[in-house]
Amino acid sequence: MAVLDQVPDDNENPSAAARRRTAIAELLRRIAPVADGLGERFAAAGHELALVGGPVRDALLRRPSKDVDLTTDAPPQKILEIIDGWADNVWTIGIEFGTVGLRKDGHELEITTYRSESYDPKSRKPEVSYGTSLVEDLRRRDFAVNAMAARLPGYEFVDPFGGLTDLQRKVLRTPGRPEDSFSDDPLRMMRAARFAAQLGFTVAPDVVQAMKDMAGRIEIVSAERVRDELSKLICGRYPREGLALLVDTGLAAHVLPELPKLRLEIDEHHRHKDVYEHSLIVLEQAIAQEKEGPDLVLRLAALLHDIGKPRTRRFEAGGRVSFHHHEVVGAKMTRKRLTALRYPKDVVADASRLVELHLRFHGYGTGEWTDSAVRRYVRDAGPLLTRLHKLTRADCTTRNKRKADRLRRTYDDLEARIERLAEEEELAAIRPELDGNEIQAILGIRPGPLVGRAYKFLLELRLDQGMIGKEAAERELRRWAAEEGIEPEDGESPEGGRPPTPPGPTGSES
């Protein structure tokens, strides 16, 4: 990442300031007419307007930025007056916190009144008060690198707390005392870890110490806000740095306590790999396989795949250590933790399912699985199969090159078999060869639990033997029904096979 190499001081080279303005103007090039026009409207109304925070930081880092965040001394109602008749669309969902959103010529912008906010010790909602000074607004921001602004129109650079210097040094500092900053908004401690993960910056020692001293303060923040920061951290470019900071400062003990618990004590008599370090490596190796940007579900599963080990660790004879069924225990723990963090139900279900399945491959041996076992592997993974491939490959962290090569070749073989069977049998949609209507017609039964039992039998038959044809499937179904003592229900007659028009609903086969 290229950072402008000029540090502002009282005798700053004018060309340095010009280059800074150019960098910020480049960011705004695509919306320059909108930004300039908006700045002129605010100036005409006697109010200030400035591009602020992340967009300015990213412009100086030459990083793309989707956000266009602006700040002003105008109160929210005055903002609405200034943009009335000019904006194509306006939304006020954040107006209680001083923020007005607007769309103009296809561009979305957010304008926030200069403000400060703080938390009452017993409240999860911040108290907001408005200000009149850009410098004071910048002072209340989380880090100096986010406390820079560019006044509009003209892009005059404002950096009262040395944010540009911090960009050069790749360090995160707070504009004032970190204790005051984190007291005002404890979520900033999570944001420190998040920016470390996104930017690869180090965190200043006094900030780290404040995080350690005040880690328990994070409990006042809502689970949803913690979740959002954690997701951004995990999906950052350097998640190891951010996660390590959470663990080392004690924040993880409050927001993701399963992670520090992976630091299992290892004695000289009972040795096993460092589960915490192993989990971070698995996360990095899973990330290395991503082709279309960060995959939150895959990353969560990689990070949490072994969280069941502390609860299942057993010391065996001869110095062995076992973790029997840690994948099952870990799946339940994953589900509980992600639910507590208010993750969407699909994320919870998918991540916990991957944790549950991550050891399945190790029963494959050197290829001893039958085609039936391969079909079950695919069926159980369902739409998560591609992610399961990546997680399974990432879970190999052995330093033994021969062993690693053997595991890689074995999984290559499994994937090849899956592809072959998929071509032959449409594995992605494994279903019995008879549907619910046909089951009812053949056995002379009505919709209900019995149809579900028959469907399950046929599904197992399909997994065991593959495609055998409808006639053979019908013979097997009749044989099964006879063994189970299933007889036609009143008013139903299975003679003559399936009727030309199947009856009503399909039962419980969905």
Share of the chain above pLDDT 70, in %: 84
Summarize pLDDT for 380-420 with one digit per residue, the tens: 888 999 999 999 999 988 888 888 888 888 888 888 888 88
Summarize pLDDT for 437-462 with one digit per residue, the tens: 888 988 888 888 888 888 888 888 88
Whether residues 309 and 444 share a domain: the answer is no
Two tokens at 395? 């879970």
DSSP letter assigned to residue 174: -
Helical (H) or strand (E) element with 369:
none
Whether residues 24 and 150 share a domain: the answer is yes
Contact between 330 and 313 under an 8 Å Cβ cutoff? The reply is no
| Rounded distance between C-alpha atoms, residue 272 and residue 295, angstroms | 29
Q: State yes or no: pLDDT of 12 exceeds 60.
A: no
Arithmetic mean of pLDDT over the chain: 85
Position 34 scores a pLDDT of 85
DSSP letter assigned to residue 97: G
Contact between 386 and 332 under an 8 Å Cβ cutoff? The reply is no
**Domain range for residue 65?**
14-169
Position 148 scores a pLDDT of 93
Position 49 scores a pLDDT of 96
Q: Do the domain assignments include residue 38?
A: yes
Share of the chain above pLDDT 90, in %: 49
Position 216 scores a pLDDT of 95
- Tell me which of 140, 169, 198 is where a domain ends: 169
Whether residues 342 and 417 share a domain: the answer is yes
Residues in CB range of 364: below 8 A, 6 or more apart: 410, 411, 414
Position 121 scores a pLDDT of 64
- Better pLDDT: 173 or 506: 173
Q: State yes or no: pLDDT of 269 exceeds 50.
A: no
| Rounded distance between C-alpha atoms, residue 397 and residue 277, angstroms | 10
Mean pLDDT of 261-272: 62
- Tell me which of 425, 457, 474 is where a domain ends: 425
Whether residues 340 and 485 share a domain: the answer is no
Total domains in the chain come to 3
Whether residues 161 and 18 share a domain: the answer is yes
Give the chain's largest Cα–Cα span. 100
- Better pLDDT: 434 or 348: 348
Two tokens at 437? 């209507």
Helical (H) or strand (E) element with 125:
none
Whether residues 23 and 163 share a domain: the answer is yes
Q: Do the domain assignments include residue 28?
A: yes
Q: Do the domain assignments include residue 449?
A: yes
Position 270 scores a pLDDT of 43
Q: State yes or no: pLDDT of 311 exceeds 50.
A: yes
- Tell me which of 404, 425, 446 is where a domain ends: 425
Q: Do the domain assignments include residue 85?
A: yes
Whichever domain contains 137, its CATH number is 3.30.460.10
Whether residues 474 and 507 share a domain: the answer is yes
Q: Do the domain assignments include residue 280?
A: no
Q: Is the peptide bond before 257 cis (omega within 30 degrees of 0)?
A: no
Position 456 scores a pLDDT of 85
Q: State yes or no: pLDDT of 87 exceeds 80.
A: yes
Q: Do the domain assignments include residue 90?
A: yes
Q: State yes or no: pLDDT of 193 exceeds 90.
A: yes
Q: Do the domain assignments include residue 187?
A: no
Q: Do the domain assignments include residue 190?
A: no
| Rounded distance between C-alpha atoms, residue 341 and residue 226, angstroms | 7
